[in-house]
Structure 1
Amino acid sequence: MEREIVVVGAGPSGSATAIALKQAGHDVLLIDRQEFPRDKACGDGIPAGAIEILFSLGMEEKIRGADFYPVYRLLLSSPRGYVLEADLKKGKTGADSCVVPRTEFDALIQQHAVEAGVEFCKARAKEPIIEDGRVTGVRVRQNGSDQEIRSKVVVGADGVTSVIARALSPDTHEDKHRAVALRTYISDIEELPHEVEFYLYQGILPGYAWIFPLGEGRANLGLGMRLDKFRDANESLEQMVEVFLDIPDVNKRIKHGGKLNNTAVWQLNFGSKPIQRAYDGALLVGDAAGLINPLTGGGIHNGLQSALQAANVIHDALVKDDTSLTQLQVYDHRIEESMKKSMRKSYLIQRSLLYFPSWVDILIRWGGSNSDLAKTFIDKL
């Protein structure tokens, strides 16, 4: 089988890349090992900037008609219990941040890709085809048999465990540039309506626990922390969640025992680790490209930004009939220009919280919404 472009992974970044390339007139095959809708472990917080990128891809009507839970405010709680509340930023066209289960969110984008004319295929990518140092396609497992799909460009959008990234760049993220997180859903909790909550406290710093409301007494609840710090701890993530639920200000809001369900654990690769994202005949986007904010753990907005940048670079390369590294490495430069400063700043704040945890109390008590800590959460959710 031969295609112009193969996008491996149909999550938000992969589907958005496919949509943008199809809208530019290209032949795109989008593959994923799962059918949609499917679950994806996440905090389910979607920043306004991500929503506006989807608007630009023609999804405004779909999104406004969907049952996303809008959030307008943010709460930060410090180890000593100091609290800061602030308004979240709206998008440039007035879009709000929201909370929506990734089962629904991802399926909406993947469906839009198919409706835009992208061909979707359920298949498990095994490895990129590499000939003379150049990616010329991908080997997949489909319907019980192995197949080769040849293409001019392969886009690796297959997440933190990307087989495309692993084959092209064996260098792994050190634990200090990774995180581990647990997500669960809780019923019967007294919500703070339309407000996302972040709890920074001893034991998980520079990570945090969260409560993201879904309405009607339901919320996405969980915690995340740096992987090296987790390995040093003597507790499981499940035990840490129980400690969080015992915090008085949280515990008093739980009704009828607070039923937990659909618990999942996952790992993340921070954007604080410099990696190569462009190769001869291939690009990496989203979590496969290691674009998670090292302070907030958010990656959807950065992933969608990378999707648009990748699509623009691939389109220009195909117009020139040159998909070599020389041409595609423009993508690496654009990612650096648009995200490096923010990633570096977030990583410095994260390290400060690790080595000087008392700063959290000071920043939340006295810094207000103008502190770098608060502004990063407000901007990046």
Structure 2
Amino acid sequence: MPVTTEYDVVIVGAGPAGTACALALRHSGRRVALVDKARFPRDKICGDAIPSPTLKLLACLDPSYATELHALLALHRAPTTHSRLLAPSGEELRIAWHNPAFNSPRLHFDEALLTLVRRHTATELLEGYAICSLQTDEHGITLTPTDSTQRPLRAALVIGCDGANSVVARSLGPPTALDRAYHCAAVRAYYKEVADAPEDTSDFYFLREYRAGYCWVFPVGGGVYNVGFGMLSEEVAARRLNLRHELSELLATHPHLAPRFAKAEALTSITGFGLPLGGSNRPVHGLRTLLCGDAAALIDPLQGHGIDKAVHSGILAAAQVVACFQAQRFDADFLASYAQQIKQRIGRELAQRYRLMRFLAGKPWLVDLVVRAARWRWLRRRLVRAVG
């Protein structure tokens, strides 16, 4: 039997959920490993929006984290103080946000979070470590790498922060079919020389010909824009849509987008990704195992982002880790308190937003009405609260 390396906790996935969990365990006294199949910095296909609660949550762990993060990303972020919403009718609404938020390419944002882990914790970082399988017994979990030259890992607890295709989540039970009603498909590319594109404004295009979804143009700093299109996977499948083709057509022919992209330069090809939406009651725990972020399907169904939820769930998982070692209990019944925390603090909100998304889907006239009515200040305030 191969020799294993022993840890108290192994966090699988070094994105926002995994790094937040490692930061939250800084003073736990536990031996923690943070493993990722990639070597950083690495790209992560995403819309690159960093919602304002992300910074608040990190600042609650340590006020210096938010300050350092801003400094690390000085050349790779765009503070977003406004959003423009274009209704299916073509009517435009501009919204000012009061809480600080920004956009930043995940290539740089995730590397900055990992820098905080390196600076402030004793976490052992294992990059380029892909996991083939997990085997759980009454004493712990063994993680076997795909590379036979690397040592297996052994831990009392495993925190799965390894994204939408989580190998940790798959270890909790037999595979289930993709539920396209709770899944979003999206594509993204980077552009420069986009016209009418203020660096402080994120644009959302709601389109009459597509039901649950939108096109976006997000500044990410340095004159670069994250441009994408996402929609509910059940519609993509039903209509046999090729989202790469659909985005290209939108940028070339849409009456509002085409003039903006007439002289734009594509910096990357259009690439696709999938997002498991919140509200599905997907399991988030098992024997000696917790799931966070995308692995736990904590994506906002209304806006499609999940970085703030990933960070929040990572912090909640760290609190559960501390409780487990204090009680010396790692069974699923004890870990169910984490699932309850996720439901109360994150899940209920996501379920409400899923219902709102489904209510608006297929009703372009209603989106038109909401945008038109939001010109009244008191209704705009309600809209801002509703969409976060």
Q: Return the TM-score normalized by structure 1.
A: 0.92
Q: C-alpha separation between the residues in 2 aligned to 1:21 and 1:266?
A: 30
2:323 is aligned to 316
2:164 is aligned to 160
2:6 is aligned to 2
SS of the aligned residue for 1:283 comes to: strand
Alignment counterpart, residue 104 of structure 2, candidates 76, 79, 100 = 100
Superposition map of 1:264-343 within 5 A: 264-343=271-350
1:345 is aligned to 352
2:87 is aligned to 78
Distance 1:372 1:277, change over 3 A: farther
Of 43-52 and 367-376, deviating more is 367-376
Q: C-alpha separation between the residues in 1 aligned to 2:249 and 2:384?
A: 24
Letter in 1 for 2:171: A
Distance 1:367 1:303, change over 3 A: same
Distance 1:19 1:107, change over 3 A: same
Residues 58-81 of structure 1, C-alpha deviations (whole Å, 9 max, x = no match): 412322312221010111111111
How many equivalent residue pairs? 371
Superposition map of 1:8-157 within 5 A: 8-58=12-62, 59-65=65-71, 66-67=73-74, 68-90=77-99, 96-115=100-119, 116-122=121-127, 123-131=129-137, 136-142=141-147, 144-145=148-149, 147-157=151-161
Distance 1:41 1:347, change over 3 A: same
SS of the aligned residue for 1:274 comes to: coil
Q: How far 1:226 sits from its partner (Å)?
A: 0.5
1:93 is aligned to none
1:175 is aligned to 180
Q: C-alpha separation between the residues in 2 aligned to 1:55 and 1:25?
A: 21
Q: C-alpha separation between the residues in 2 aligned to 1:172 and 1:158?
A: 19
Q: C-alpha separation between the residues in 1 aligned to 2:177 and 2:18?
A: 22
Q: C-alpha separation between the residues in 2 aligned to 1:21 and 1:30?
A: 11
Q: How far 1:146 sits from its partner (Å)?
A: 5.7
1:375 is aligned to 385
Q: How far 1:373 sits from its partner (Å)?
A: 5.6
Q: Return the TM-score normalized by structure 2.
A: 0.90
SS of the aligned residue for 2:184 comes to: strand
2:211 is aligned to 205
SS of the aligned residue for 1:182 comes to: strand
Residues 206-259 of structure 1, C-alpha deviations (whole Å, 9 max, x = no match): 100000013443210001001110112243112211232122222222353433
Q: C-alpha separation between the residues in 1 aligned to 2:241 and 2:310?
A: 31
Q: C-alpha separation between the residues in 1 aligned to 2:177 and 2:149?
A: 30
Q: C-alpha separation between the residues in 1 aligned to 2:116 and 2:332?
A: 30
1:187 is aligned to 192
Of 298-307 and 236-245, deviating more is 236-245
Q: C-alpha separation between the residues in 2 aligned to 1:85 and 1:167?
A: 45
SS of the aligned residue for 2:300 comes to: coil
Q: C-alpha separation between the residues in 2 aligned to 1:247 and 1:30?
A: 45
Letter in 2 for 1:120: L
Q: C-alpha separation between the residues in 2 aligned to 1:251 and 1:360?
A: 22
Any unmatched runs of 5+ in structure 2? Answer: none
| 2:378 pairs with 1:366 | no
Q: How far 1:266 sits from its partner (Å)?
A: 0.5
Q: C-alpha separation between the residues in 2 aligned to 1:215 and 1:301?
A: 20
Given that 1:137 and 1:152 are in contact with CA atoms closer than 8 Å, whether structure 2 keeps it comes out as no
Letter in 1 for 2:323: D
Q: C-alpha separation between the residues in 1 aligned to 2:350 and 2:92?
A: 25
Alignment counterpart, residue 236 of structure 2, candidates 217, 230, 249 = 230
SS of the aligned residue for 1:37 comes to: coil
Q: C-alpha separation between the residues in 2 aligned to 1:82 and 1:257?
A: 24
Percentage of matched positions with identical amino acids: 27
Q: C-alpha separation between the residues in 2 aligned to 1:61 and 1:362?
A: 40
Alignment RMSD, CA only? 1.9
Letter in 2 for 1:35: R
Of 269-278 and 39-48, deviating more is 269-278
